[in-house]
Amino acid sequence: MTLDPVGEGKIVYGISNIYRREPKPKADYWLNIPAAAVDWNVSDLVADFGEQWEVTQGPNVMGRVDVNHADADRMFLQILPGGKSARQIFYESILIYFRK
């Protein structure tokens, strides 16, 4: 699960350990939730500075939400395409794993 992933900017490459090539997630099931807040706040500076990773293909669920970058808890609870929240999907995956 990725919540508002960042890391596209050249400045970020210079001060962090983020790969310069686009990552290729190896998860069997990938949930990506980019934040797209209508009402910008200072926490969104992190995403602006780090430049959001615009994923174009790969996630099983892609749910852009009207939430600020710092509000991961709200991102986790928003209903996504398919009618479930990331929390519900995560919880169900844990149940499935332990029932096997």
Mean pLDDT over 61-76 rounds to 91
Q: Are residues 8 and 53 in contact, defined by beta-carbon separation less than 8 angstroms?
A: yes
**64 burial class (0-12, 13-18, 19+ CB within 10 angstroms)?**
middle
Number of domains within the chain: 1
pLDDT exceeds cutoff 90 at 11: no
DSSP 55: -
CA distances from 99 to 28, 84, 87, 96 (A): 17, 21, 18, 5
- Against a cut of 0.85, is the pTM above it? no
Phi, psi (rounded to 5 degrees) for 47: -70, -40
pLDDT tens track for 22-58: 667 788 888 999 888 999 999 888 777 777 777 878 8
Domain limits for position 57: 2-99
pLDDT band for position 100 (50/70/90)? Answer: confident
